[in-house]
Amino acid sequence: AQSVSQHNHHVILSEAASLELGCNYSYGGTVNLFWYVQYPGQHLQLLLKYFSGDPLVKGIKGFEAEFIKSKFSFNLRKPSVQWSDTAEYFCAVNLNRDDKIIFGKGTRLHILP
């Protein structure tokens, strides 16, 4: 069965630290990849997406992610986090063949001021 794995369930960082959240998926076909963010009390928002082309994609608020096809990975990065980045982050995969969107279990990020 198709699945999405997020390696870190809970991450605690100090402000200005660098961030990398891991995401791997299991599916051999063509996929589109997403990172969503859920700030406390708010609805899910799209952070960035990869459809095709340059495997390094840039999103909102200084986030970026790199698609490495050979590793089935789509890791999220930010060079210097801020307190306002405290949120839950979800990696998601859209299986092109049927528009089924599968999410990982999420990573809860807590930034210390």
Partner 1 sequence: DGGITQSPKYLFRKEGQNVTLSCEQNLNHDAMYWYRQDPGQGLRLIYYSQIVNDFQKGDIAEGYSVSREKKESFPLTVTSAQKNPTAFYLCASSWPGQGNTEAFFGQGTRLTVV
Interface residues with partner 1 (CB under 8 A) are 1, 6, 9, 30-32, 34, 36, 43-46, 49, 51-52, 90, 92, 94-96, 98-106
Greatest alpha-carbon pair distance for the chain in Å reads: 44
Classified as helix, coil or strand, 9 is coil
- Alpha-carbon dihedral sign for residues 41, 17, 26, 72: positive
Question: Smallest gap, in angstroms, from Cβ of residue 80 to partner 1?
Answer: 26
- Least distance from partner 1 to the Cβ atom of residue 43, Å: 5
43 or 113: CB nearest partner 1:
43
Paired tokens of 1: 């069965």
CB 1, min distance to partner 1, A: 8
**Phi/psi at 105 (5° precision):** -80, -5
